[in-house]
Chain A
Amino acid sequence: MKIQIEAFGIAKDIFGKKHIEIRLQTGCSVLDLKETLMEKFPKFKALRSFAIAVNESYALDTDQLTETDKIVIIPPVSGG
């Protein structure tokens, strides 16, 4: 399946753009996505951490993704 990903902060710099499309196996998990990202974009490994938001909430590593999910990369936050 193809998923669309939106990026903020340093994740946007790592991609060099705000939106990317990634091909993943159907039914893959959030952890699978994180591993794929670290493989394709090794700079993710250097971050303190990064989370995935699915449909505007933090997702668990075990959550399954679908093509219609709104997926956003959340690098370490630094508001306030």
Chain B
Amino acid sequence: MNRIEIKLLQTDIDPLSSINFVSDERSGGLNVFIGNVRNHTQGAAVLKLEFEAYEPMAIKEMKKIAEEAIKRYDLNKISIQHRTGTLLPKETAVVIAVSSDHRDAAFRASRFCIDRLKETVPIWKKEFLENGAVWVSAHP
């Protein structure tokens, strides 16, 4: 049984497909984290974001996170989907769905995965503001 689904997509993410992937008969708790594009950052309007990925490594690193989350939280299944390309406010950049026998593990695993993803997965986000564009987090 395949317990891990990882996708890096240039087209819209369908959160329902992640929910369907992690649903099974033994899982009583499913948790879904959805990361959307926000139209503002530090008081400035955000017009759009561009996501760039080092694709083969991004997939490997997301898989490592999924494997670690299964081990740490005794998950049953996990699905991680991330976008590349141009996204507008309200569009979905990332979906992480996890399932476990009971809800507590699912809540905790969900946060672990998104926090780790932001630290290790080689994906970069460029914010387009009214007065220019910046690579997020590049500088201290």
Contacts and interface: CB of A to CB of B under 8 A. Distances in A.
B52 A9 contact: yes
Given A53-B57, A56-B57, A72-B57, A78 B139 contact: no
A21 B139 CA distance: 25
B129 to A, nearest CB: 15
Given A77-B121, A79-B124, A56 B56 contact: yes
A47 B138 contact: yes
Contacts, number: 79
Given A57-B57, A72-B57, A79 B135 contact: no
Contacts of B57: 53, 56-57, 72
Contacts of A48: 137-140
B124 A77 contact: yes
Interface residues of A, number: 20
Nearest to B126: A9
A46 B135 CA distance: 13
Name, among A8, A9, A57, A75, the residue most crowded by chain B CB atoms within 10 Å (CB to CB): A9
Contacts of A8: 52-54, 122, 124
The dominant DSSP class at the B interface is mixed
A79 B82 contact: yes
Given A9-B135, A80-B94, 6 more contacts: A8-B53, A9-B126, A77-B123, A78-B136, A78-B137, A80-B93
Interface of B: 35, 51-54, 56-58, 60, 82, 93-94, 114, 117-126, 135-140
